[in-house]
Amino acid sequence: MAKSSKKKASKKTVARKSPAKGRKRAVTEEAVPTAEQLDVKFTPRGPDQATIDAISRRLIEHASVQALLKRTRNRLLSFDLIEPEGEAKSSRIPPGPNRFRATFYDYTNNRTVVAEGNLDNLRTIEVSDYSSQPLPSSEEFDEAVSLIRKHPELGRALREKRLQPYPPMPPIIATELPNGRTERTVAVGLLPIGQVPGDPRAAKHEIVGVNLIRQSISRFDDRAPANSAAHNPICGQPNAGQPTAAKGTAGQVWVTVTQGGTVLWKFLAVRPAASSGTNGSGIELRFVDYRGKRVLYRAHVPILNVKYDNDACGPYRDWQYQEGMIQANGANVGSGFRLCPAPAQTILDTGSDVGNFLGVAIYVQGLEVVLVSEMQAGWYRYISEWRLHADGTIRPRFGFSAVQSSCVCNRHHHHAYWRLDFDIRTPGNNVAKEFNDPPLFPPSNWHTKNYEIKRSRNPASKRKWRVENTTTGEGYEIIPGPDDGRATAEPDWPFPRGDVWFLRYHGSEIDDGVVAIGPPYEAGIDSFVNFESIVNQDIVVWYGAHFTHDIATEPPGTFGEIVGPTLKPVKW
């Protein structure tokens, strides 16, 4: 059980800037008595890791799977739980995940094999094969490194610790064969470490491709594939090289927040490694209720990408499931969830890639409950954070940093896209409104959006939005963050595509379906705008935030940036 400062403690929490630009941390000072404490309780949900592992072992031996994989060299890359989408919308007691999707790679035949079925009935499963390349697993990366260790030149440098292996971008090198297919080639970065300047034996920074079909190594004329870089200078924080959490790792908990015996918040929290979407979606909140009334059916970040000036590297579509370690001291309350008596620290707070916990840290800070996790995609480090206040305010946050590489020395632009599936009181009977000052349609500052539409942020008109229930008038405002940028003003426009989209709910539009190895790299949200009516409907809001990372102009002692909007209750 987590608690905020008690009345008798006579303390308050003050937000102050930390060394990370825009990043805030809590400082406790003596003050007048605060509001009554917050209590947080947890209930694990869904199958645990032992159950998932047991099902995975049975699945590998299943006759339908063996029909495609027998006598092949293969590997299980991921095991994902599939939530029931439509039926959970109207259920006050949402059913748990009842289906799974297991992804194998068949190296003998150079193909992806996917098995889908019901968790409670493994007798009948559907098995299909594809020529597409899924993202690599940690085990594949480790196999690739072991092959490099056998290389006469690179292997010796690895053994002598003159080179440190690291996962680079892109994760897969897609070299097309004459027949149009690609062989599975995992990229491995080799970073020079611990070398004396001028040493003739000094190893050079390099990114190589390890073909797991032919068990061979490819090197490049420029020491890196065409859309990457490996040279001096090298920028970013030191790479700790610690273990990460794999896609499909178990981790869901129900969170209940009370104050003085009154239930304020109840929601399901899903760790990034278990989150939904083609590439994961960070910390995912589902079935979010405030004071017993539904606010959000699902809230997450399913699309994340980056574009470099002059295409110095990339562009890249990133993934949001590979958890990296953070510094979080406390007690585990579920698989991948840790309750902390003090704020957890990420690379944005410390500048360090070192941590002691994989998953989501939860703590109480003043009158906010905070959930935070750190994710990795190659050399990028991303922070997924949600802050839920006792007054009903929700602050989604997304942070950006990086560890050592050559690419991040170049100016580049990150774009994160939240998907906010509002169900204000009910899945239907919702409407979207926009505020402008001066008004676009006098005399009212507010006007209704009748059809699916894309809108831009406009600070000059104090533009914000609201989703409300047309029967009760209750709603939530979406207030842009001061550092969230504007797509049309970004240096890499039109790559960022947009700021805000209002759409009618469709269960097939969780994301745009693009695997992170791309292309396309741009967010495909525009394709969802079909001008359907969104009056008295189930409304989904996509919110994009944009951040330019330029090492050359970054103040000393800063380790990244954090962005995000504010969601505030109205007439609640």
**Band of residue 568 on the pLDDT scale cut at 50, 70, 90:** very high
**Band of residue 16 on the pLDDT scale cut at 50, 70, 90:** very low
pLDDT surpassing 90 at residue 156: yes
pLDDT recorded at residue 13: 32
DSSP-derived secondary structure for 167-191: --SSSB--PBPTTS-B--EEEEEEE
**Band of residue 552 on the pLDDT scale cut at 50, 70, 90:** confident
**95/37: higher pLDDT:** 37
Q: What is the pTM of this model?
A: 0.92
Print the SS3 string covering 208-242. EEEECCCCEEECCCCCCCCCCCCCCCCECECCCCC
pLDDT surpassing 80 at residue 24: no
Q: List the one residue out of 414, 323, 300 whose CA is nearest residue 374.
A: 323
Report the C-alpha gap between 400 and 378 in whole angstroms. Answer: 13
Report the C-alpha gap between 495 and 486 in whole angstroms. Answer: 12
* Mean pLDDT on 54-59: 92
pLDDT recorded at residue 22: 39
> Would you say domain 138-218 falls under CATH 1.10.10?
no
pLDDT recorded at residue 382: 98
pLDDT recorded at residue 182: 85
pLDDT tens profile 87-119: 677 776 777 788 999 999 999 999 999 999 999
Report the C-alpha gap between 480 and 31 in whole angstroms. Answer: 31
Report the C-alpha gap between 259 and 564 in whole angstroms. Answer: 26
pLDDT tens profile 498-536: 999 999 999 999 999 999 988 999 999 999 999 999 999
pLDDT tens profile 405-453: 999 999 999 999 999 999 999 999 999 999 999 999 999 999 999 999 9
Q: How far is CA 521 from the centre of its chain?
A: 16
pLDDT surpassing 80 at residue 198: no
pLDDT recorded at residue 540: 98
pLDDT recorded at residue 1: 54
pLDDT tens profile 346-360: 999 999 999 999 999
pLDDT surpassing 80 at residue 12: no
Output the six-digit token pair for 442: 């006098």
How far lies 392's CA from each of 71, 131, 243, 395, 549, in Å? Answer: 57, 47, 36, 10, 32
pLDDT tens profile 252-271: 999 999 999 999 999 999 99
Contact 308, 380 (CB under 8 A): no
Output the six-digit token pair for 101: 């999707």
pLDDT surpassing 70 at residue 281: yes
Output the six-digit token pair for 523: 């967010």
> Would you say domain 2-44+248-570 falls under CATH 3.30.565.10?
no
Dihedral angle of Cα 32, 35, 36, 37, to the nearest 10 degrees: -90
The answer for residues whose C-beta is within 8 angstroms of residue 72's C-beta and 6 or more apart is 106, 107, 108, 109
pLDDT recorded at residue 2: 53
Same fold across 2-44+248-570 and 138-218: no
Report the C-alpha gap between 368 and 257 in whole angstroms. Answer: 10
Report the C-alpha gap between 396 and 388 in whole angstroms. Answer: 9
How buried is residue 109: exposed, middle or buried, by Cβ count under 10 Å (0-12/13-18/19+)? Answer: middle
pLDDT recorded at residue 553: 85
* Mean pLDDT on 274-288: 96
* Mean pLDDT on 206-221: 96
Residue 189 bridge partners (DSSP): 166, 207
pLDDT recorded at residue 8: 37
Asked which of 23-37, 255-269, 481-495 is least confident by mean pLDDT, the reply is: 23-37
Q: Are strands 430-435 and 464-469 parallel, antiparallel or unpaired?
A: antiparallel
- DSSP, collapsed to helix, strand or coil, labels residue 145 as helix
- The helix (H) or strand (E) run that includes residue 159 is helix 154-159
Report the C-alpha gap between 495 and 492 in whole angstroms. Answer: 6
Output the six-digit token pair for 215: 């068990």
Q: Are strands 74-82 and 99-106 parallel, antiparallel or unpaired?
A: antiparallel
First to last CA, the chain: 27
| Phi, psi (degrees; rounded to nearest 5) at 69 | -110, -5
pLDDT surpassing 70 at residue 6: no
Every domain of the chain and the residues it spans: 2-44+248-570, 138-218
pLDDT surpassing 70 at residue 209: yes
pLDDT tens profile 282-306: 999 999 999 999 999 999 999 999 9
**Band of residue 200 on the pLDDT scale cut at 50, 70, 90:** low
